[in-house]
A and B are shown apart, each in its own frame.
Chain A
Amino acid sequence: MLIIGENINSSSKKILQALQEQDAAFLLNLAKEQVAAGANMIDINAAKRLEHEKGDLEWLVKVIQAEMEVPICLDCTEAEALEAGLKVHKGKAMINSVCKDRVRLETILPLAAQYKASVVALAMSEENIPSTVEERLQISLELIKTIREYGVPDTDIYIDPLVFPVAVDTDNAQKTLTLIREIKGTFPQVRTIIGLSNISYGLPKRDLINAVFLSIARYAGLDAALLNPFEKKVLTLLKATELLLGNDEYCRNYLVSYRKRELA
Chain B
Amino acid sequence: MVDIINKIKDAVMSGQADQIQALVKEALAADVKASDILKEGFIAVMDEVGEKMSKDEIFIPEVLAAAKTMQTGLDLLKPYLVESESEYTGKVVIGSVKGDVHDIGKNMVCMMFEGAGFEVIDLGVNVPDEEFVENVKNQQPQILALSSLYTPTMLAMKDVIDALTDAGLRDKVKIIVGGAPVTQLFADDIGADGYAPDASKAVLKAKELLGN
Interface residues of A (CB under 8 A from B): 11, 47-48, 124, 126-129, 165, 167-168, 170, 201-204
CB<8 Å pairs between A and B, sample of 19? A11-B151, A126-B99, A127-B101, A128-B101, A128-B126, A165-B104, A167-B59, A167-B60, A167-B61, A168-B60, A168-B61, A168-B64, A170-B61, A201-B60, A202-B59, A202-B60, A203-B59, A203-B60, A203-B61
In the complex, what distance in Å separates the CA atom of A133 from the CA atom of B178?
29
Whether A168 lies near B151 (C-beta < 8 A) is: no
In the complex, what distance in Å separates the CA atom of A127 from the CA atom of B126?
7
On chain B, the number of residues with a Cβ less than 8 Å from chain A's Cβ atoms is: 13
Contacts of A126 in B (CB 8 A): 99
Whether A168 lies near B59 (C-beta < 8 A) is: no
B108-132 contacts to A, CB under 8 A, are 126
| Closest residue of A by beta carbon distance from B60 | A202
In the complex, what distance in Å separates the CA atom of A11 from the CA atom of B180?
10
Please pick, from A48, A128, A170, A204, the residue contacting B151 in the complex, using a CB distance under 8 A.
A48
In the complex, what distance in Å separates the CA atom of A32 from the CA atom of B90?
54
Interface residues of B (CB under 8 A from A): 56, 59-61, 64, 99, 101-102, 104, 126, 151-152, 181
| Closest residue of A by beta carbon distance from B104 | A168
Contacts of A165 in B (CB 8 A): 60, 104
| Closest residue of B by beta carbon distance from A124 | B101
Contacts of B151 in A (CB 8 A): 11, 47-48
In the complex, what distance in Å separates the CA atom of A202 from the CA atom of B56?
9
CB distance from B194 to the nearest CB of A (A): 23
Contacts of A202 in B (CB 8 A): 59-61
In the complex, what distance in Å separates the CA atom of A201 from the CA atom of B104?
11
Which 5 pairs, one residue from A and one from B, show the smallest C-beta to C-beta distance? A202-B60, A167-B60, A129-B101, A167-B61, A203-B59
Whether B59 lies near A204 (C-beta < 8 A) is: yes
Contacts of A203 in B (CB 8 A): 59-61
CB distance from B96 to the nearest CB of A (A): 11
